[in-house]
Structure 1
Amino acid sequence: MARPPLPIGTHGRIRIYQLGPKRFRARTNYRDHDGVIRDVERTAQSRAAAENTLRAALRDRGRVSRDGDIDRDSTVRALGELWLAEIDRAVQLGKRSPTTAEAYRYRWDRHVRDGLGSLRIRELTVSRLDRLVVQVHDRYGTGAAKTTRTVLSGLVGLAVRHDALERNLVRDVGRIENSASSARSLTAAQAVDLREKINGDPKCREWDLVDFTDFMLATGLRIGEAAAVTWAALDLDAGTVEVRGTVVRIRGQGLQIKARPKSKSGYRRLELPAWAIGMLRRRRAESSPNQWDVVFTAPLGGLRDPSNTQSDLRKVFDRAGYEWVTSHVYRKTVATLMDAAGLSARQAADQLGHSKVSMTQDNYFGRKVAQTGAADVLELFSNPGGKPGVDLDEDESPSA
């Protein structure tokens, strides 16, 4: 009866031969992933060293990718191109945002490819990865460092899936902490004042930002989401708007309405305040049809570019004396006013399109004077050395 073949990725008995003084060869048969049995050998100055060197080679030989493209000796540059190809495929399938893919590719081109691209995958270490993230942080800021860390995690994760590494080394890279202070939002008085200044700014009317910023304040939508709202998504009789997509710029295609908002929770139907309904009725009566049926076009009639709009808004806020305000402050203002009115964090998260309530609480609720009730409770310590709640200056002082 024929001897059964070696299982794929295993080896036979290791044989050791002495070739000369302080020179040994360790040899065995190894069945590769293509089913072919091949001789594998290594030499060293001692029997033990030769066997250990061979065993290390056999271990590394087993770490080949499913399609043969990636192994421990592949370059990080090759790994990165394969990972980006996977991201592009996810975009085509609608599982990733084109803007996210662009952000990843930008950080890869700008930092990772030149910083680590010539290394072999086996040469990646936690310290090397951490050093790159720190360098990006110190030179380009927290946001760039976080995205770079995400890219590295994706790359190394792909190497792990291809058996080129045993674990994702980026897990041990230092976390990037936000240096920004707690969320700041407009007070109701500030919001009213800013609206008046925007309404009186000729440039805002020229750039069609008066109604646009009012709509953002009425809904808490992101710029891209507000720019993608169509008349079909509005039910002015019911006083609601459906958030169905966002405007993004795709390389080689220009501005597009992406049917998926930023997250799964981005699909939502929101109630509109009466003053916003009145503004939209007026706008509908005055507007001309456009090929996208969007409510807010760019000043020249195309889709509104979120990046250009952000730039225009910075200039508007600066002229109005609100240099610290950004478009995201509008979202924070909506969330903070909801919080102050006693609405739940879940309701605010639903309004903003957040899947996690903690995101809304940590980053979008403005910090208030904490009225926790603790002050009244802690009054019991107002009498040092005496009975809780009893003032030593009063007649009812404790007896000795």
Structure 2
Amino acid sequence: MSRQVLRTGPTRQAAEQSLQRALQTRGLPAGAGLITPETKIEALAKLWYEQLDDLSPSTMEAYKTRLRRNVLPAFGNVRIREVSVGLVDRHLMAVRRNHGPSAARQTRNVLSGMFRLAARHDAMRSNPCRDVARIPSRPLHQPRSLEADEIRSLLAGLRQSEWANAYDLPDLVSFLAATGARIGEACAIAWEDVDFEAATVHLHGTVLRLPGEGLIISRPKSPSSNRIIEIPSWCVRMLRERRKRALGDLRELQSSIHAVFPAPRGKDLRDPSNTRMAMRTAFRQLGVLEVTSHTFRKSVATLMDQAGKSARDAADQLGHAHPSLTLDVYMGRKKRSTGAAAVLEQLDSGSA
């Protein structure tokens, strides 16, 4: 290994500046590795993404989205040695301001993973993401929560809407209101996931569109999203009627594994993105401008809270991870009795 010669200069200040420059640029010798302090973030991002493994397709696609939208436009031409805590911190605050805390946290996770890789190659002295300011979890714009009577009125309006029926929205939105499921989870459930006798549904995947592959069912991002939850009796009745319309003969259902909510004009998987747009149009026609598919997750949690259910029950219902390992181990993440089904009985508007 060649020795690096420091030019100390005629003064102590110049010597200290020279030493500081040398420390900042010290890393792998030229040609010794793929990642050095001179490597651009664009190249680092490519190497980091290529070495990821054992992650769900949805997580991989989410990371790719963050790289494309929030990392490479700002950092692509920056060299590793030029990255500082302040630079990263200011960028994350801008992402939070423009896109919300969830996007900011995910961007931080991506940057942190990249910088850990750089540090392992001695291209960085430390990971700057460790010292950035905490990203507040509270959204800049709180999602709206609907009261029970508002949900009943909305579901009734959807059943009367030609647009909503053309896009097969009334049953799907009813399911979201009855479960608090994510829209991708609802699009992924098959008839075999519904237990009519136990009044439960197994949520264990999500529909995702991958470039070049189309729509797939991806495994959930975390174990907490793989869960069995109770559904209220009115939702069971709705699903029974839907099953009869889909197949006609109940005896054929034992081996049926097709989607409960397929694409409105076929039996293929339903695209969550297209469904969100159709829902927004239907809601606007009903004069409800602020409601999205996520509104029903918020509403389920709020109704459970008003009924005295615990935050843990709500986390199990919605598939949120919990920070306490003790609760995870001794209470179980796939429990059925969250209490949501009894609470959500009040949403029955006579759909069956």
The answer to whether TM tops 0.5 is: yes
Q: Which moved more, 1:198-207 or 1:46-55?
A: 46-55
Find the aligned partners of 1:223 and 1:108 in 2 and give their Cα distance.
Answer: 24
Amino acid at match of 2:125: E
Deviations 1:23-72 (A, max 9, x none): xxxxxxxxx4xxxxx4544445469888996897589655579x821122
Answering whether residue 252 of structure 2 is matched by residue 296 of structure 1, we say: no
Amino acid at match of 1:119: V
Answering whether residue 233 of structure 2 is matched by residue 267 of structure 1, we say: no
In the other structure, the counterpart of 1:187 is: 147
**Mapping of residues 220-369 of structure 1, within 5 Å:** 220-258=180-218, 260-288=219-247, 293-301=258-266, 302-356=268-322
Answering whether residue 121 of structure 2 is matched by residue 121 of structure 1, we say: no
The Cα of 1:264 is off from its aligned counterpart by 1.2
Deviations 1:265-307 (A, max 9, x none): 0111111211111111111111159996111101122211111
Deviations 1:346-399 (A, max 9, x none): 1111111112289xxxxxxxxxxxxxxxxxxxxxxxxxxxxxxxxxxxxxxxxx
| Aligned equivalent of 1:164, options 123, 145, 149 | 123
Change (3 A) 1:144 1:39: closer
The Cα of 1:140 is off from its aligned counterpart by 5.5
Q: For the aligned residues, what is the CA RMSD?
A: 3.2
Find the aligned partners of 2:3 and 2:323 in 1 and give their Cα distance.
Answer: 59
Change (3 A) 1:148 1:64: farther
The Cα of 1:163 is off from its aligned counterpart by 2.1
Q: Per the alignment, in what secondary structure is the counterpart of residue 39 of structure 2? A: coil
Amino acid at match of 2:173: T
In the other structure, the counterpart of 2:165 is: 205
Amino acid at match of 1:333: S
The Cα of 1:77 is off from its aligned counterpart by 1.9
Find the aligned partners of 1:103 and 1:189 in 2 and give their Cα distance.
Answer: 36
Find the aligned partners of 1:331 and 1:110 in 2 and give their Cα distance.
Answer: 26
Identity %: 44
Find the aligned partners of 1:148 and 1:59 in 2 and give their Cα distance.
Answer: 25
| Aligned equivalent of 2:109, options 128, 147, 150 | 150
Q: Per the alignment, in what secondary structure is the counterpart of residue 123 of structure 2? A: coil
In the other structure, the counterpart of 1:378 is: none
Q: Which runs of 5+ in 1 are unaligned?
A: 1-31, 33-37, 359-400
Find the aligned partners of 1:217 and 1:185 in 2 and give their Cα distance.
Answer: 11
Q: Which runs of 5+ in 2 are unaligned?
A: 248-252, 325-352
Find the aligned partners of 1:193 and 1:59 in 2 and give their Cα distance.
Answer: 63
Note if contact 2:188-2:206 (Cα within 8 Å) is conserved in structure 1: yes
Find the aligned partners of 1:213 and 1:204 in 2 and give their Cα distance.
Answer: 10
Note if contact 2:181-2:297 (Cα within 8 Å) is conserved in structure 1: yes
The Cα of 1:332 is off from its aligned counterpart by 1.4
Note if contact 1:246-1:262 (Cα within 8 Å) is conserved in structure 2: no
Note if contact 1:349-1:357 (Cα within 8 Å) is conserved in structure 2: no
Higher helix proportion (structure 1 or 2): 2
Q: Per the alignment, in what secondary structure is the counterpart of residue 74 of structure 1? A: coil
**Mapping of residues 3-22 of structure 1, within 5 Å:** none
Deviations 1:140-187 (A, max 9, x none): 665554443333233223222322112221333344445535553111
Question: Which structure has the bigger radius of gyration?
Answer: 1
Q: Which moved more, 1:326-335 or 1:134-143?
A: 134-143
Find the aligned partners of 2:133 and 2:149 in 1 and give their Cα distance.
Answer: 42
**Mapping of residues 372-383 of structure 1, within 5 Å:** none
The Cα of 1:209 is off from its aligned counterpart by 0.8
The Cα of 1:237 is off from its aligned counterpart by 1.6
Change (3 A) 1:130 1:349: closer
Q: Which moved more, 1:147-156 or 1:315-324?
A: 147-156
Deviations 1:102-148 (A, max 9, x none): 33323323443343222321121223333444555566665554443
Amino acid at match of 2:57: P
Q: Per the alignment, in what secondary structure is the counterpart of residue 118 of structure 1? A: coil
Amino acid at match of 2:310: S
Find the aligned partners of 2:103 and 2:204 in 1 and give their Cα distance.
Answer: 29
Note if contact 2:202-2:229 (Cα within 8 Å) is conserved in structure 1: yes
TM-score (norm. length: structure 2) = 0.78
Note if contact 1:195-1:214 (Cα within 8 Å) is conserved in structure 2: yes
Find the aligned partners of 2:88 and 2:50 in 1 and give their Cα distance.
Answer: 22
Amino acid at match of 1:286: R
Q: Per the alignment, in what secondary structure is the counterpart of residue 322 of structure 1? A: coil
Higher strand proportion (structure 1 or 2): 1
